[in-house]
Amino acid sequence: MSGKVWDELLGQPEAIEQLVRVVENRDSGVHHAWLFTGPHGSGRSNLALSFAAALECANHGCGDCQSCRLVMATAHPDVTFFSTDRVQISIDEVRELVAKASLSTSMSKYRILILEDADRMTERTSNVLLKELEEPSEGTIWILCAPSVSDLLPTIRSRTRNINLRLPSTSEVAQLLHQRDGIDLEVAKVAARQAQNHVGMAKRLATSSEARNRRSDTIAVALGINNLSSAMMAAERFLQIAKKDAEQVALERDEQEKAALLAAFGFSEGDKLPPSVRSSFRELEENQKRRQTRLLRDGLDRILTDMESIYRDVLSIQLGAGTELYNPEHQTELVARAESGTAEMTIAVLDGISSARERLASNVRDLLVLEALCVKLIFRRTGAN
């Protein structure tokens, strides 16, 4: 029997099946360390939260009880959800988590620690965690999330059970948006394609005119770069677009999270909160504030994803791949680019976008990274002067 907490996870039937079996057999013991790997957008953290909720719930993850709702709202006292805004997780942060791992639980059977971006640890920091994984505290379960197995030290990998996720297909994403969120199927398909199958991004594109404007602005600016000065201006414009997008996402997400937390405690908006739960709300607000930097980086990442969609289209035209374009509405522009260059040149641009992504992650100043990238996007129409 599997509970409702798994329902909204998409395109991961194999992973879910394995985890459901673990939950069903939890009384004969649960492995103490897990590694969830998958690309950005595959839903790693959501799967980790569902697994935690199912383990803690008396009904294997019903989705309705207070325990389930607190876990899904990242407010359960025995489930710690750690994600970082920084390029690296500090050794002190990991020490703090390890200290928490040995505390006894307050309302449920397991103490669960979810560590997002576990690839962002130096070797020294990893070793603090390794010690804990070698001599696990009773009843404690770690769930580490990372892009791939090779992002972690072999010594850590050897202690963990690996669950590998894949990026869902366009039609799976569209179906989910249609069934779960009641979005028109055709709208959902376009959004899924434009978001290159990132569920959260697809949902925003399908439901928010701000998000759609953000995307069309990004594409228009990228396609309009035709000399050095427009490249410099485009870089600045991209930064503005990302900032605005990040603010909008923060606003939407902050409200949703607060509503989820209120619902988990059984309150409605405007109710006076008893002192016993106020600290949970304070913690939520603090987390939301700390998240700002990360949201800007995510905003920049969405811009890079949109640019990628342009150059993947150009490449697909150049190679005569015959696949459906991500941006059919810009076909003329895309064909012009395809005809004026070679596939090698397009691959170089795509590599430039990947390296921009890495440089942003390693804290090179945002504007510098964008300027360097925009210079690579300068397009002079053949025959024009």
Distance CA 50, CA 143 (A): 11
DSSP helix/strand/coil, 79: strand
- Closest to Zn ion by CB, 51 or 379: 51
Are 225 and 234 within 8 A, CB to CB? yes
Q: Which of residues 64-93 bind Zn ion (CB under 5 A)?
A: 65, 68
Which residue of 8, 26, 39, 62 would you call a contact of Zn ion, by CB under 5 A? 62
Q: How far is the CB of 64 from Zn ion (least distance, A)?
A: 6
Q: How far is the CB of 72 from Zn ion (least distance, A)?
A: 10
Give me the 9-48 binding string for Zn ion, x by CB under 5 A, dash otherwise: ----------------------------------------
Strands in 165-261 per DSSP E: none
Distance CA 68, CA 5 (A): 8
Candidates 63-71, 131-139, 198-206, 368-376 — which segment interacts with Zn ion by CB under 5 A?
63-71
Q: How far is the CB of 63 from Zn ion (least distance, A)?
A: 6
Q: How far is the CB of 313 from Zn ion (least distance, A)?
A: 45
The three-point CA angle 235-237-239 to 5° equals 75
Nearest in space to 6 (alpha carbons), one of 146, 147, 176: 176
Alpha carbon distances (Å) from 278 to 54, 75, 198, 263, 291: 26, 12, 34, 14, 20
Q: Does 57 bind Zn ion (CB under 5 A)?
A: yes
- Closest to Zn ion by CB, 62 or 130: 62
- Closest to Zn ion by CB, 3 or 11: 3
Q: How far is the CB of 50 from Zn ion (least distance, A)?
A: 11
Are 198 and 48 within 8 A, CB to CB? no
- Closest to Zn ion by CB, 57 or 231: 57
DSSP helix/strand/coil, 1: coil
Distance CA 277, CA 282 (A): 9
* HSE, side-chain direction, 13 A CA sphere, residue 270: 0
Q: How far is the CB of 20 from Zn ion (least distance, A)?
A: 14
- Closest to Zn ion by CB, 38 or 61: 61
DSSP helix/strand/coil, 340: helix
Are 149 and 38 within 8 A, CB to CB? no
Number of Cβ within 10 Å of residue 196's Cβ equals: 18
Candidates 51-59, 74-82, 83-91, 311-319 — which segment interacts with Zn ion by CB under 5 A?
51-59
Candidates 17-25, 54-62, 246-254, 326-334 — which segment interacts with Zn ion by CB under 5 A?
54-62
Q: How far is the CB of 107 from Zn ion (least distance, A)?
A: 12
- Closest to Zn ion by CB, 264 or 334: 264
Nearest in space to 303 (alpha carbons), one of 374, 380, 251, 228: 374
Number of residues that bind Zn ion (CB under 5 A): 4
Residues lying near Zn ion in the complex (CB under 5 A) are found at 57, 62, 65, 68
